[in-house]
Structure 1
Amino acid sequence: MDLERSLKLTEKGDYLLTNQAKILLAGFIETSVFEQHDGTIQAKRYVYQGTGLISQKRELLFDPELNSIKSYDKGAWHDLDLTPMTYDRVSQLEQLRLSLIQGADPKMGFAVEIADRKKIKHYKLDFVGEEIIETDLGPIPTIRFQRGAEDDERESNIWLAPAWDFLMVKTTHVEDGTLIAATVSKAYLDGQALSITPEEE
């Protein structure tokens, strides 16, 4: 899978996090718009748009004043409850990164609520351990998390690089026996290309 991930500050002061992926004749673009105050994210809008053979669209609109979420899926809107710990699929990983930057203990794991389609799903990101992964940039020291869910329908893993502000450098997802994986091949921070130094190896 080819995956491009970017984070930008908009003119309105919000953050725009974008994932764009392509697998053979199918792919997707997903965007998350959120605010960030003192290391805490407030999601505002999420859009998932399938491309190629998969053209489905999903959307989330977060309203903190009404503690509600409008969720668009399969041509219809649905109402969901919003709590301070509710994120979309994209912003929840950015909240994890910010929590770690602020000194949260990764070994404690993280519990998150994700608005998805017609319901709020509860997940636990469990700390697996420290690992060195091989990439096109060289070996990168990482910490690995595995996501558990209310059911065991899926298995997901992420690897974050502490030396790069816990940037996600690898992800895997298994569903219905199919493995989807992506590993970093290049990365930029404030326009500067990231590279491995001898101290990091």
Structure 2
Amino acid sequence: MGIHKIFAFIAVSLLTLPISPAYSATSSQDSFLTPYSAVYSTIWKKGITMKVKGTQTLSKQANGTWQFSFTADNFFASLSEKSTFTVKNHQIIPTHYLYQSSALGKKRKAELFFDWTKNRVRNDIKNKPWNMSIKPNTVDKLSVQLQIREDLKQGKDNFDYLIADGGYTKNWRFKRLKTENIETKFGEISAIKMIRTDNKDSNKQTSFWFAPKYDYLLVKLTHKEKGGDSYTLDIESLKVLAKH
């Protein structure tokens, strides 16, 4: 797997300040997720072991839109991924998605523009834009993580999602398992374990842990592939942000 794909995987899964005790799911259940900035550490094992730190930020803008971003870099590569969206009836409605990466001198960029008046998305890759039709409730591959969190927060039990990615609408499916106690830099945290189920045929195993105490924040992720390659993501720090 190339380093571009490694960084992309880290971003899809995903302020050196201690966690705030005030960060909890105490706000109205009718509100969206709490703005925050979090740092995750990732260990990638594929013959060699590589460590990467990434920052994930959710913020609400003055015009009422939301922005969700992930950035990561090390000596060899860098990645920036951002989704802009609105929320209606607990459903994320993306308007713009941007992916940029640089690895060993090679740069990549992908950009999506969502037009919900026509239910279409324009995809611009390598300055070659094209359009495709999308169904309602389609999200991008970054904001889907927030949609999972919101659906957990609302007590839903269906975790099937349509993802606009790479010229296709893909179906990502997840299954909720039991609640587990996991060790983090903040101590032991009770978290809901979920697994991705649409990729079992490829002998991949991906597990996620979301913590209800912290507004269903992703606190841990593990990914294993046939042959022994693996990724582990753990939360390191969290800072609550004020809403505009």
| Same topology, TM > 0.5 | yes
Alignment partner for residue 171 of structure 1, among 221, 228, 235?
221
Whether contact under 8 Å (1:126, 1:148) holds in the other structure is yes
Alignment partner for residue 19 of structure 1, among 46, 62, 70?
70
Whether contact under 8 Å (2:140, 2:163) holds in the other structure is yes
Alignment partner for residue 69 of structure 1, among 98, 113, 121?
121
1:118 aligns with 2:170: no
1:29 aligns with 2:91: no
- Does the residue aligned with 1:55 lie in a helix, a strand or coil? strand
1:136 aligns with 2:185: yes
Distance 1:3 1:75 in 2: 27
**Residue deviations 1:79-131 (CA, integer Å, cap 9, x gap):** 22221221101111111111222222xxx340001111111111111113222
**Residue deviations 1:21-63 (CA, integer Å, cap 9, x gap):** 2355123110000001231110111111113425211111111
Deviation at 1:169, TM superposition (A): 0.8
Alignment partner for residue 98 of structure 2, among 39, 47, 51?
47
Whether contact under 8 Å (1:72, 1:117) holds in the other structure is no
Corresponding residue for residue 194 of structure 1:
none
Q: What is the identity percentage for the equivalent residue pairs of Structure 1 and Structure 2?
A: 28
Deviation at 1:155, TM superposition (A): 3.8
Whether contact under 8 Å (1:62, 1:82) holds in the other structure is no
Corresponding residue for residue 3 of structure 2:
none
Q: Which amino acid aligns with 1:103?
A: G
Distance 1:118 1:151 in 2: 22
Distance 2:107 2:201 in 1: 27
Task: Give the number of aligned pairs.
Answer: 188
Corresponding residue for residue 206 of structure 2:
156
Whether contact under 8 Å (2:91, 2:137) holds in the other structure is no
| Structure 2 portions without partners, runs of 5+ | 1-51
- Does the residue aligned with 2:146 lie in a helix, a strand or coil? helix
Over 3 Å counting, the alpha-carbon distance change for 1:140 and 1:10 in structure 2 is same
| Structure 1 portions without partners, runs of 5+ | 192-201
Q: Which amino acid aligns with 2:121?
A: I
Deviation at 1:10, TM superposition (A): 1.4
- Does the residue aligned with 2:150 lie in a helix, a strand or coil? helix
1:92 aligns with 2:141: no
TM-score for both structures, normalised by structure 2: 0.70
Over 3 Å counting, the alpha-carbon distance change for 1:84 and 1:18 in structure 2 is same
Distance 1:39 1:71 in 2: 25
Deviation at 1:133, TM superposition (A): 1.5
Deviation at 1:11, TM superposition (A): 2.3
Q: Which amino acid aligns with 1:142?
A: A
Deviation at 1:162, TM superposition (A): 0.7
Query: Over aligned residues, Cα RMSD in angstroms?
Result: 2.0
Q: Which amino acid aligns with 1:156?
A: T
Bigger share in strand: 1
Alignment partner for residue 233 of structure 2, among 175, 182, 197?
182
